Structure 1
Amino acid sequence: MRFFLVPLLLIGWPLAEIAGFVLVGKALGLWATLGLVIGTAVLGAILLRNQGTQILRQISTESRDGRAPGRALIDGAMIVVAGIMLLLPGFITDIIGLALFIPFVRSLIWSVIGRRIVVVRSPRSKSYQYESPRPSPEANKTGPVVDLDEQDYHRDPDPSSPWTGPKSREP
């Protein structure tokens, strides 16, 4: 039954957007309709940039504090979807995009899907640990570090090497 909804959505959504263009175009006129479409795209880009940086800071803060940033990740995903919806031409996508930028709507969506989302961190993963790197025990098995001066590691070119043959002629 769900497979039937996908083609219906793929056909119905563009038709609904076209109908929205026609209705808004009749009510406001051509130039105002085009101005609204371009304005919402610019607004979407601005909101995506501002809200996106705020969400990235929130994710970073939660990760640094050792908490799983599940809610912040979902908020970030919804903001990206909202920005894409506003960038797409159409009034239905603009309404959905603007709604997703409202924190209350995102909280409502989180309350519905939040129980189903689980952020898992593997025991070997260091995703949420911000510690100074420690050398592994295997690193010391290679031997001590030898500090050499420039004349100690300088060597002359090998005359038998094909790369050190006669210099190429200059034009």
Structure 2
Amino acid sequence: MRYLFLLIIVIPAIDIGVLLFSGKAIGVWPTITLILLTGIIGAYLAKREGLQTIRRVQEQLSYGQIPGEALLDGICILIGGTLLLTPGFITDVVGFLFLFPPTRKPIKFIILKAWRNRINKGNIKIIK
């Protein structure tokens, strides 16, 4: 929880600094255009990847399989889309990393490893 609070303060402050620097370096209108463009591209990618993930989940469920990896993809796509809709270049870069399948794979591995560690420590209880 303390890391979340820190991220809520630090990341926007860094993003604002980068936006101010960008506005000074390339101009205000090109900066605004880049922010809007990344938001539009991000929304399109999130929709496309999300629909593919929904189809995979439905296909796996129809075969009686548990769609674990597809659900993890969905979580990554949700996080990536949210970050891309947030104005700022740093959040956009991280959002694109969550959306593209090649870069999403190591992120999913890290998330899965963190969940397993929390389960092994007893922080998360699984009821059967």
Q: Give the structure-1-normalised TM-score.
A: 0.63
Q: CA deviation at 1:110?
A: 2.1
**In structure 2, what is the equivalent of residue 18 of structure 1?**
16
Give CA-to-partner distance per residue, 1:26-63, whole Å, 9 cap, x none. 22111000000111111111111111111100011111
| Structure 1 gap ranges (5+) | 123-171
**Higher relative contact order at CA 8 Å, sep ≥6: structure 1 or structure 2?**
2
User: CA distance change for structure 1 residues 6 and 97 in 2, over 3 Å: closer, same or farther?
Assistant: closer
Structure-2 residue corresponding to 1:128: none
| TM-aligned CA deviation for residue 75 of structure 1 | 0.3
Instruction: Give aligned pairs, total.
Output: 119
Instruction: Spell out, residue by residue over 1:101-124, the C-alpha distance to the aligned partner (whole angstroms, 9 max, x if none).
Output: 121221112223335469x8x7xx
Please tell me whether Structure 1 or Structure 2 has the larger radius of gyration of its CA atoms.
1
> Which of the residues 109, 112, 123 maps onto 1:111?
109
Q: 1:101 corresponds to which residue? A: 99
Which one has the bigger helix percentage? 2
- Kindly report structure 1 stretches of 4+ aligned residues shifted beyond 6 Å: none
Residue identity opposite 2:75 in structure 1 = A
| Higher mean C-alpha displacement, 20-29 vs 85-94 | 20-29
TM-score scaled by structure 2? Answer: 0.82
- CA RMSD between the two structures: 2.2
